Amino acid sequence: MSSMPVSVRIRLSGMMFLQYMMFAVFWQPLADYLNKMNMSGTQMSFILGSMAIGCLVSPIIGMIADRHFASEKVLFVLNLVGAVLLFWAAKQRDVTMVFITLLLYMLCYMPTWGLTSAIAMSNSPSEKFPQIRVFGSIGWFASGIFGLVGLTIFNTKIDGSVIPLYCGAATSFAAAILALTLPHTPPPAKGQKASVIDALGLRAFSLMKDFQFTLFIIITLLVMIPFSVYWSYFSIYLGDKGFKLYAGTMNWGQFVEMFVMVSVPVVLAKIGIKWVMSIGLVALLSRYLFFLFGNVYDQYWMIYAGILVHGVIFAFFFVGGQIYVDKKAPKEIRAQAQGLLFLLSFGVGLLSGTFIYGKLIEVYTMEEATGTVCNWRPIWLITTVISAALLAVFVIFFRDKIEVEQRSEEQVSVVPEQIGSESQGQ
């Protein structure tokens, strides 16, 4: 496909924009909302861990959809059901019902990361895909507009309230309607044998015979533990520090990510895969040093600095890691190896970190005259020590050398799709 109509490009770009906006608008302030419902650390961990659980199961759902239904129809159903579930979640006050509803939502939402990429790549020239995909990052960044409008026009702080869930539901409904206008995309794997083992990337465990690959996988899984406190709980910290626009504040990390991503191929060609990923780990350590000293000395510029390095962490460590897997794995199991990386990082690793930090926040939260207050200093100190230890282990023991050609900007931009791009929080 050498060209595509402008109308198709607009619709595909809109698809990406809405798909990432709907998640960012409610997920980033969710922890503070749950905290204000006076949930225990364990209860909050289960709810915030629903995304990681969705990551564990969504490859199976995606595999079934890929073999039986047109992609745009699957996207329509998933987004429509997702809109209903988010609306229903906003109505719930019972902890168990909030967990069940958001878990069901994540089972619908997580497969859409790969699904929207498949639709876009099936209906656009390969060289145009990054120009379409970038609208997902723009949508994530633009999700902060909901909080800004609420604060400036309606004089209402929506972050930390139930309103972002309604905003997510409305955006999901709009995305469902847009899906009806997307080009027809037949099931790409129709007629192929379905295998849960292949969908979860379990055949790629054969790569674990290589010590360097095993070390990389273990480090990546463990990195998700300190990464998770920012991803899942940072809105609580922002609330404690008096911020009013959680999503708008955190989204500056995604804004930086859009620009840092294009530098990955250049840096990769100059210093190699080990030092590219090391830069990402240095950025991770820097983030928590900024938060630690920003908290100790009450310096807000340090908090912003810690947010801005998010793009460096994601682009250099996570995307660099995907490139390593792409080069390390034999061609016949390359996709499964990426699936294994996704499963262990954003599934097992993120879920573990969410529970660990949920418990830590509970331990360091105290009752005061003004209400419950969390002492963040030991939390940032613990996270800083963990990040420093992971950096040291990686630099000292990881010695794998692989041939990595200088990729084009378009090739690198596609990579994040396999772990869901923005992490978020991309």
Whether residue 221 has pLDDT greater than 90: yes
Residue 332: pLDDT band (50, 70, 90) is confident
| Ranges 24-38, 195-209, 322-336, most confident | 24-38
Q: What is the pLDDT of residues 26-77, one digit of tens each?
A: 999 999 999 888 888 889 999 999 999 888 877 777 777 777 888 899 999 9
Residue 189, C-beta contacts closer than 8 angstroms, at least 6 positions apart: 63, 66, 67
Question: Average of pLDDT values for 296-324?
Answer: 92
Q: How far is CA 356 from the centre of its chain?
A: 18
Q: What is the pLDDT of residues 227-247, one digit of tens each?
A: 999 999 999 999 999 898 888
Please indicate whether residue 97 or residue 38 has the higher confidence score (pLDDT).
97
Whether residue 173 has pLDDT greater than 90: yes
- Reported pTM: 0.84
Q: What is the pLDDT of residue 404?
A: 52
Residue 415: pLDDT band (50, 70, 90) is very low
Whether residue 424 has pLDDT greater than 50: no
Whether residue 10 has pLDDT greater than 90: yes
CA distance 334 to 338: 6
Q: What is the pLDDT of residue 22?
A: 97
Torsions phi, psi of 368, nearest 5? -130, 175
Cβ pair 333, 13 in contact under 8 A: no
Q: What is the pLDDT of residue 127?
A: 67
Report, in angstroms and rounded to the nearest whole number, the Rg of the chain calculated over CA atoms: 21
Query: Nearest Cα to 119, choosing from 137, 105, 108, 133?
Result: 133
Q: What is the pLDDT of residue 409?
A: 41
Residue 425: pLDDT band (50, 70, 90) is very low
Residue 88: pLDDT band (50, 70, 90) is very high
Q: How does 44-56 read in b/e, with b if 16+ C-beta sit within 10 Å?
A: bbbbbbbbbbbbb
Q: What is the pLDDT of residue 369?
A: 67
Residue 18: pLDDT band (50, 70, 90) is very high
Cβ pair 261, 310 in contact under 8 A: no
Residue 391: pLDDT band (50, 70, 90) is very high
Average pLDDT value for the chain: 87
Whether residue 259 has pLDDT greater than 90: no
Percent of the chain clearing pLDDT 90 (strictly above): 54
Percent of the chain clearing pLDDT 70 (strictly above): 91
Question: Which range has the worst mean pLDDT, 99-108, 181-190, 340-349?
Answer: 181-190
* Ordered domains of the chain (ranges, CATH): 8-419 (1.20.1250.20)
Inter-CA distances, 268 with 127, 274, 323, 419, 420, Å:
21, 9, 10, 20, 21
- For residue 182 the two structure tokens come to 């997307």
Q: How far is CA 54 from the centre of its chain?
A: 12
Query: Nearest Cα to 32, choosing from 288, 280, 232?
Result: 232
Q: What is the pLDDT of residue 408?
A: 41
Please indicate whether residue 28 or residue 117 has the higher confidence score (pLDDT).
28
